[in-house]
């Protein structure tokens, strides 16, 4: 979709004030017997974390090689690294290749793996790297379109809740969500705990009075197996997005209701608009 086409959607359905916040058009008519509730993940569908994850890998790899070079007596030559390109790294992440195997293919030995993995966990959520996260293309339009058409938006994320709110406020998107559910564990998102995601979704459904009887009026949107497993556990249909950290082949193994390219494509489907881009 072109920028002009996106602007047409915003003009038709939303009004943006000078601060960049989205407000719904006054008096917009809604004729739904029951509002559709959209539960949406954060990392992947809304925020692109690929730069941060790649920088984490690159820095941890370099730190590990340097540590073992200095540890040897006398100091040995630096470990011969074979640093993956971002495209190579991200393809591995999307296909669920373990960090240990990624490190091995990058030139680290078995004795260096634990240090590398520990270093990844130490820096992946550091302030030096978090600023690399950015909003996915089309997200502002997608969320504005869903809200303007009467869809209720609830964020369900393994990301630290305060951090997610800060990013949403930064982009003027906070007020579009009727509820925000996250963790206080900075490692939960990277570890992708499916059980924790299910607990968060269950809490969100309970507090917003959404039951499994409302399955026809509820959706879970996400980009990982944790999102799909949580939706299945709670009995609601799921939309898997391929713009995040899992490939379509990986996501299809968990039998989502639908597979879409990104949040804008999912929004078009949920409001019944024929997409102008491949979805």
Q: pLDDT tens digit string along 167-182? A: 999 999 999 999 999 9
Whether 121 and 148 share a structural domain: no
- Give the least confident one: 2-16, 64-78, 215-229: 2-16
Whether 156 and 236 share a structural domain: yes
Q: Could you tell me if residue 210 is inside a domain? A: yes
| Measured distance CA(114)–CA(91) in Å, rounded | 23
Measure the N-to-C terminal CA separation of the chain; round to a whole number of Å: 11
Whether 18 and 156 share a structural domain: yes
| Measured distance CA(153)–CA(150) in Å, rounded | 9
Whether 184 and 114 share a structural domain: no
Helix (H) or strand (E) holding 40: strand 37-40
Whether 39 and 144 share a structural domain: yes
Q: pLDDT band for position 5 (50/70/90)? A: very low
Beta carbons of 160 and 130 less than 8 angstroms apart: no
3 state SS of 273: coil
Whether 139 and 126 share a structural domain: no
Q: Could you tell me if residue 68 is inside a domain? A: yes
| Domain final residue pick, 130, 152, 179 | 130
Average pLDDT rounded to a whole number, residues 180-187: 84
What rounded mean pLDDT belongs to the chain? 86
User: What pLDDT, on the 0 to 100 scale, is given for residue 56?
Assistant: 97
Tell me the torsion sign for CA atoms 251, 252, 256, 260: positive
Condensed to tens digits (0 to 9), the pLDDT of residues 82-126 reads 999 999 999 999 999 999 999 999 999 999 999 999 999 999 999
User: What pLDDT, on the 0 to 100 scale, is given for residue 185?
Assistant: 74
* Cis previous bond, 238, omega within 30: no
Burial of residue 26, with CB atoms counted within 10 A of its CB: 0-12 exposed, 13-18 middle, 19 or more buried: exposed
Half-sphere exposure of 80 (CA within 13 A, CB side): 0
Q: pLDDT band for position 15 (50/70/90)? A: very low
Output the CA–CA distances (angstroms, integers) from residue 219 to 60, 139, 167, 173, in the order listed: 37, 17, 23, 20
| Domain final residue pick, 86, 111, 130 | 130
Q: Could you tell me if residue 277 is inside a domain? A: no
Condensed to tens digits (0 to 9), the pLDDT of residues 218-275 reads 999 999 999 999 999 999 999 999 999 999 999 999 999 999 999 999 999 999 876 5
Closest by Cα among 180, 178, 198 to 188? 198
| Beta-carbon contacts of residue 86 (< 8 Å; ≥ 6 apart) | 50, 51, 54
Q: Could you tell me if residue 89 is inside a domain? A: yes
Q: Could you tell me if residue 223 is inside a domain? A: yes
| Measured distance CA(153)–CA(209) in Å, rounded | 14
pLDDT over threshold 90, residue 78: no
Q: pLDDT band for position 139 (50/70/90)? A: very high
Whether 10 and 117 share a structural domain: no
Burial of residue 85, with CB atoms counted within 10 A of its CB: 0-12 exposed, 13-18 middle, 19 or more buried: exposed
Q: pLDDT band for position 71 (50/70/90)? A: confident
| Beta-carbon contacts of residue 183 (< 8 Å; ≥ 6 apart) | 157, 158, 159, 160, 161, 189, 196, 200
The domain total for the chain is 2
Place of tokens 């206080």: 184
């Amino acid at each position: 979709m072109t920028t002009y086409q996106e602007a047409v959607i915003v003009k038709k359905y939303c009004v943006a004030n000078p601060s960049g916040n989205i407000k719904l058009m006054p008096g917009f008519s809604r004729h739904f017997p029951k509002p559709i509730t959209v539960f949406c993940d954060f990392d992947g569908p809304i925020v692109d974390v690929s730069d941060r994850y790649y920088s984490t890998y690159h820095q941890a790899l370099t730190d590990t090689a340097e540590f073992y070079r200095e540890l040897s007596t006398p100091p040995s030559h630096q470990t011969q690294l074979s640093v993956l390109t971002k495209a190579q790294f991200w393809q591995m992440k999307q296909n669920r290749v373990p960090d240990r195997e990624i490190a091995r293919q990058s030139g680290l030995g078995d004795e260096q793996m634990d240090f590398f993995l520990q270093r990844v966990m130490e820096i992946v959520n550091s302030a030096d790297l978090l600023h690399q996260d950015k909003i996915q293309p089309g997200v502002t339009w997608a969320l504005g379109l869903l809200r303007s058409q009467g869809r209720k938006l609830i964020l369900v994320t393994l990301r630290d809740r305060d951090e997610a709110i800060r990013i949403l406020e930064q982009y003027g998107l906070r007020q579009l969500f009727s509820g925000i559910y996250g963790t206080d564990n900075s490692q939960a998102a990277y570890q992708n705990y499916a059980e924790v995601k299910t607990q968060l979704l269950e809490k969100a459904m309970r507090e917003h009075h959404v039951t499994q009887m409302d399955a026809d009026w509820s959706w879970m949107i996400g980009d990982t197996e944790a999102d799909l497993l949580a939706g299945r556990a709670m009995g609601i249909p799921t939309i898997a997005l391929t713009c995040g950290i899992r490939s379509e082949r990986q996501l299809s193994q968990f039998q989502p209701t639908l597979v879409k390219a990104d949040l804008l494509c999912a929004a078009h489907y949920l409001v019944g608009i024929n997409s102008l881009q491949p979805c």
